[in-house]
Amino acid sequence: MEDFSSNDTLSNKSIRPIALVSHVLQHMAKMRHIDELFAWLATTLVEHFGVVSAQVWATQAYRAGVVHGKLRASSSLHSFQALQIFESAEVKVFIERMLRDQRGVLSIPVPRIFSQYQANVFAQQNCLYWTTYFIGKDVLLPPSQSNSARNEIATPFQLIFSLFTPRPLQPSDARAISFLLEQSFRIVISQGFLSKTPVQSEKDSQSIFDSLIPERIEAIQVEQAENPFNSAIVIPEKRNRELYSLIDGKKNIEELRALMYASQKEMLEVLQSLLAKGHIRLREVGGNPVDISSFPLSF
């Protein structure tokens, strides 16, 4: 893998953002994976903008149909052990919420958002303010370089840059960071490094999704087994159990949702849960299996 880290040409702390963007252009030919750009951007934000620690989080979908926030890159003035502070479960909860809401925050004091314990830990690292930048593009983000299990799939491009600083970002720095991030991804997209998402309206996508037919995987296995008297599976969650009992391999999602008096959001969540646990699969009317992650995270 080519080195996409900062070098001597970027040692000047007051370097202009346009020079950093120029550096992205120079290294595009060497870049083999988008995570190399994420790592370079995180390092550059720490080196040139008074950021103590920077992380790049992304929405990540998996073959099982579940979606989580995933850390794609991290850089910090502190040791490796201290990095875990900025990647804690509490941080991830807020990151995933911001990814869903597609928003960021600008220089908010950490006690206003985190628990007292977490805020005190940040203060010990001289991290008193938190800034997050949300970036969404009409392209697909490929799986991470660390996808050893090969269970990640290309996901609509949604990022959060998480920045911890000892003081509020100056307006000039905030504008410079925004410029650097937007221009970096404009370059990456314009050069065809990321594939475009399929053009499909929300209404069309919902209609196609509602026409899919859930099937019990247990029922499929029983039909293929020599002994049809297998024990039934146990599903503790009430709404999951209710949907599972209604699935007969004939009713589509729209019909099942009507029987359950469920909202579109609740139906999607219950389906994702049953899919993730391997209780059901989805197929088209013609019989072809479908991956739920090819649809929007919400309608």
Query: pTM for this structure?
Result: 0.63
Average confidence (pLDDT) over 142-161 = 85
What 3-state class would DSSP assign to 11? coil
**107 phi, psi to nearest 5 deg:** 50, 60
What pLDDT does residue 221 have?
46
The domain limits of the chain are 8-190, 202-294
What 3-state class would DSSP assign to 14? coil
Fold of 8-190: Beta-Lactamase (3.30.450)
Q: Per-residue pLDDT tens for 112-143?
A: 999 999 889 888 888 999 999 999 988 888 88
Neighbour tally for 227: CB within 10 Å:
6
Q: Is residue 282's pLDDT more than 60?
A: yes
Please state which of the ranges 91-105, 254-268, 282-296 shows the lowest mean pLDDT.
282-296
CATH architecture of 202-294: Orthogonal Bundle (1.10)
Beta strands 289-290 and 155-165, pairing class:
unpaired
Q: Is residue 293's pLDDT more than 90?
A: no
Q: Per-residue pLDDT tens for 15-74?
A: 566 767 677 777 777 778 889 889 989 998 998 888 999 999 999 988 777 788 899 999
Closest CA relative to residue 281, chosen from 249, 255, 259, 256: 249
The whole-angstrom separation of Cα 188 and Cα 183 is 9
- Whose tokens are 């919420």? That residue is 97
Beta strands 152-153 and 53-62, pairing class:
antiparallel
Radius of gyration in angstroms for the set of CA atoms belonging to the chain, rounded to a whole number: 23
What pLDDT does residue 147 have?
74
The whole-angstrom separation of Cα 273 and Cα 69 is 17
> Dihedral through CA 207, CA 208, CA 209, CA 211, nearest 10?
90
**140 phi, psi to nearest 5 deg:** -105, 135
**Do the beta carbons of residue 56 and residue 41 sit within 8 Å?**
yes
